[in-house]
Amino acid sequence: MNDKISRERDYLIQKLWDAKVIISLVLIAVLVKISYGNNTAAPTQVVDTYDVSQNTDDFMGETVTVRSKPIQKVSLTSFTVNDQKFFSGEPILVVNASGKPFDFPTDTSTTVQVTGDVRKLELPRIEQDYKLNLQDKYYKDYINKPAIIAKSIMLAATPAQITNNPSKYYGTKLSVRGEVDNIQSPVLFTLDEKSLLGKEDLLVLLIATPKRAIKQGQTIGMEGVVRPFIVADIERDYGITWDQRVRQQLEADYGNKAVFVADTLYP
């Protein structure tokens, strides 16, 4: 009889603890929302450069986002991109109008994400509209062809690339795309890369406010920064207060591993 009572007591204690953990994790979403508000500032759909080059009229004047490996440097402020799977498509010129310098990557495996306006390259109008000073000699092969006037250019990495060498990405603004796995709360989950067996999942802390709940198995794109997962620093910087046992569990599972702090979600 005493064993039965003891087991029932332990079962109730465990249920109360589980409920406490759930409440603590759900509160993270509330705290983050209070601290950061609605930060879903990237409604632009990711499209192929092939579509832009072949159906330019459909995109003209629109803001688009493309992910591609840079093909060729044209000038200090411009380069071309092209989807490798569509070799028949013409490369698209990217003109950096973000106001921030972009170093053309020397690693040919590097992918970049570009968000900007699709325009025909008419130099006088582009210079006037975006307050640029472009040197004609670099652009003679691209005049009146479609170009993306970039508002944002950043590196794009896979979850596996980050977890394999996190220090390479610390403090760098990145775009990441992956499949949602192991949801611990509405704002704390991991990204899986099914194509690479044995790779460690990437922990994500979501400080953007999603329009819909994140679902298991959903593929999402995000922008944010990579940093070490140090619980005290995360709590301080993002206004989060975890329960002591939750804190201990997170430290045991993810302490000093990489966490991707996502401030923007893509459709």
Tens of pLDDT, residues 136-178: 999 999 999 999 999 999 999 999 999 999 999 998 899 999 9
Q: What pLDDT is recorded for position 88?
A: 58
- Domain end position, chosen among 156, 173, 192: 156
Which of the four pLDDT bands, split at 50, 70 and 90, describes residue 213? confident
Domain of 253, CATH number, reads 2.40.50.140
- Domain end position, chosen among 113, 136, 156: 156
- Domain end position, chosen among 156, 182, 201: 156
Q: What pLDDT is recorded for position 195?
A: 56
Q: Residue 16: is its pLDDT beyond 90?
A: no
8, burial (CB in 10 Å: exposed 0-12, middle 13-18, buried 19+): exposed
Range of the domain at 108: 49-156
Residue 63: inside a domain, yes or no? yes
Which of the four pLDDT bands, split at 50, 70 and 90, describes residue 267? low
Residue 260: inside a domain, yes or no? yes
Query: What Cα–Cα distance (Å) separates residue 10 from each residue in 1, 3, 13, 29, 132?
Result: 14, 10, 5, 30, 69
Residue 4: inside a domain, yes or no? no
Count: domains in the chain: 2
Which of the four pLDDT bands, split at 50, 70 and 90, describes residue 11? low
Mean pLDDT throughout 46-57?
87
Mean pLDDT of the chain: 82
pTM of this prediction?
0.74
Q: What pLDDT is recorded for position 44?
A: 74
Kindly state whether residues 233 and 141 are assigned to the same domain.
Answer: no
Kindly state whether residues 258 and 163 are assigned to the same domain.
Answer: yes
* 15-19, 84-88, 177-181: range with highest mean pLDDT: 177-181
Question: What distance in Å separates the CA atoms of residue 187 and residue 203, rounded to the nearest whole number?
Answer: 10
What region does 222 belong to: left with phi over 0, alpha with psi -120 to 50, or beta?
beta
Residue 57: inside a domain, yes or no? yes
Residue 236: inside a domain, yes or no? yes
Kindly state whether residues 260 and 215 are assigned to the same domain.
Answer: yes
Cβ 186 vs Cβ 214: under 8 Å: yes
Kindly state whether residues 97 and 187 are assigned to the same domain.
Answer: no
What region does 69 belong to: left with phi over 0, alpha with psi -120 to 50, or beta?
beta
Which of the four pLDDT bands, split at 50, 70 and 90, describes residue 232? very high
Cβ 95 vs Cβ 158: under 8 Å: no
Q: Compute the C-alpha angle 209/192/185, nearest 5°.
A: 40
Kindly state whether residues 152 and 110 are assigned to the same domain.
Answer: yes
What region does 239 belong to: left with phi over 0, alpha with psi -120 to 50, or beta?
left
Residue 92: inside a domain, yes or no? yes
Residue 237: inside a domain, yes or no? yes
Query: 50 or 210: whose pLDDT is higher?
Result: 50
Q: Residue 21: is its pLDDT beyond 60?
A: no
What is the share, in percent, of the chain residues with pLDDT greater than 70? Answer: 79
Residues 6+ apart with CB under 8 A from 245: 17, 20, 21
Which of the four pLDDT bands, split at 50, 70 and 90, describes residue 248? very high
Three-state helix/strand/coil letters over 91-158: CEEEEECCCCCCCCCCCCCCEEEEEEEEEECCHHHHHHHHCCCCCHHHCCCCCCCEEEEEEEEEEEEC
Q: What pLDDT is recorded for position 35?
A: 32
Q: What pLDDT is recorded for position 211?
A: 75
Kindly state whether residues 133 and 60 are assigned to the same domain.
Answer: yes
Q: Hey, what long-range contacts does 209-214 have (CB within 8 A, 24 or more apart)?
A: 209/32, 209/33, 209/36, 209/37, 209/38, 209/39, 209/40, 210/40, 210/186, 210/265, 211/40, 213/186, 214/180, 214/183, 214/186, 214/189
Residue 6: inside a domain, yes or no? no
Q: Residue 40: is its pLDDT beyond 70?
A: no
Q: What pLDDT is recorded for position 42?
A: 45
144, burial (CB in 10 Å: exposed 0-12, middle 13-18, buried 19+): exposed
